[in-house]
Structure 1
Amino acid sequence: MRVTVFGATGGIGQLVVQQLLDNGHQVTALARTPAKLTLTHPNLTLTTGRLSDPAAVRTAVAGADAVISALGPSLERSVTGTPLTEGTQNIVKAMEAEKVTRFIGLATPSLADPKDKPHWKHRVLPVMAKLMFPNALAELTGMTAAVTRSGLDYTIARITNPTDKPATGRTRSGFLGHDKIGSAMSRTDIAAFLIAQLTDTRYRRAMPAISN
């Protein structure tokens, strides 16, 4: 499968790229600084560009069967602006123009899915996020809205506490108030879950919460 990855130089993004290549996929990665992705592979195409450049984003998306976004906002309180929201809007427009429908990305349980039932995380997490990471929450809200308001065939995995622990191969996924979902999850397992959504149809146009 031909997969375009955004956020490929981040902690989760690099794992996504590596696992895709290990599984035999062809990968295109758009990065502002491609040298940060210290991978070489005959099935990997690195392109230099910014999310703010619609032409660069569309070039990266062209010919893809699916897009995986491992983009995530900075948690630094000093950071302002919404470049990832605007970048995600460019990704959505590029996918629509290139007729690429499958989008897989990341968000937070601070944002609810319609399939959720009332849960303490809906009350606590948004309040904590607004107090501690207001700009990051604004970015995640905007990024998610750009995708869910489109006609794309999306799956957005909601994560709470990514860790650098070794992969466990164990994943809990579902909806708050319905399923027993924890908080921590290794980045390696997060990447594996995102890749599994290329063929898994359970969470089409949904935002499952996931954990180990």
Structure 2
Amino acid sequence: MHVTVFGASGAIGSLVVQQLLDDGHDVTALVRTPAKFTLFHDHLTVVTGQLSDCDAVEKAIRGADAVISALGPSLKRSTKGSQVTDGTRTIVRVMEKQQVTRFIGLATPSLADPQDKPHWKHKVLPVAAGLMFPNALAELKGMTEAVTDSGLDYTIARITNPTDKPATGRIRAGFLGHDKVGSAMSRADIAAFLVSQLTDRRYRRAMPAISN
């Protein structure tokens, strides 16, 4: 399968790229600064550009069977603007133009899925995030809505507390109030879940919460 990865140079994105390559996929990664992207592989193509560069986004998505986005907003309180939201909108537009329908991405349990039942995270997380990271929360809402309001075949994994612990292979996924899903999860296991959604059809057009 040919998969395009956005956010490929990030902590989760680089693990997604490596997992895809280990699984035998062809990967195209859009990166802003290639010098900081240290992965090399015969089946890896690196496209240089920013999310605001529509031509670069088109070049990265062209010929893809699916897109995995490990994009996320900055948690710095000084960060302003809607760069990630705008970039995600560009990705969606290009995917629709090129008839690439499968999108796999990340969000937060601060945002509810229609399949959730009432849960404390719906009350606590949005308030805490709004106080500590108001711009990041707005970006997460914007980038998520850009995908869920589209006709794409999406799966958006909601994560709470990513860690740098080794992969465990133990992954819980489901909907708040229905399933036993915790908060902490290793970035390696997050990456593995995202890659698994290339073939797992359980969460099509849904936003499962995931944890170890």
TM exceeding 0.5: yes
Q: CA deviation at 1:47?
A: 0.7
Distance in 2, matches of 1:129 and 1:78, equals: 15
Q: What's 1:95 paired with? A: 95
Q: What's 1:75 paired with? A: 75
Task: Please identify runs of 4+ aligned residues in structure 1 that moved more than 2 A.
Answer: none
Distance in 2, matches of 1:5 and 1:68, equals: 5
- Give the counterpart letter for 1:145 in structure 2: E
Distance in 2, matches of 1:159 and 1:36, equals: 25
- Give the counterpart letter for 2:209 in structure 1: A
Residue deviations 1:74-107 (CA, integer Å, cap 9, x gap): 1100000010000000000000000000000000
- DSSP 3-state at the match of 2:27: strand
Q: What's 2:51 paired with? A: 51
- Give the counterpart letter for 2:38 in structure 1: T
Q: What's 1:172 paired with? A: 172
Distance in 2, matches of 1:36 and 1:139, equals: 24
- DSSP 3-state at the match of 1:151: coil
Distance in 2, matches of 1:25 and 1:44, equals: 9
Unaligned runs of 5+ in 2: none
Distance in 1, matches of 2:96 and 2:204, equals: 17
Q: What's 1:163 paired with? A: 163
State percent identity of aligned pairs: 77
Backbone CA RMSD of aligned residues: 0.4
Q: What's 1:85 paired with? A: 85
Q: What's 2:19 paired with? A: 19
Distance in 1, matches of 2:38 and 2:112, equals: 36
Q: TM-score, normalised by structure 2?
A: 0.99
> Is 2:195 the counterpart of 1:195?
yes
Unaligned runs of 5+ in 1: none
Q: What's 1:113 paired with? A: 113
Q: TM-score, normalised by structure 1?
A: 0.99
How many residue pairs get aligned? The number is: 212
Q: What's 1:63 paired with? A: 63
Distance in 1, matches of 2:16 and 2:44, equals: 12
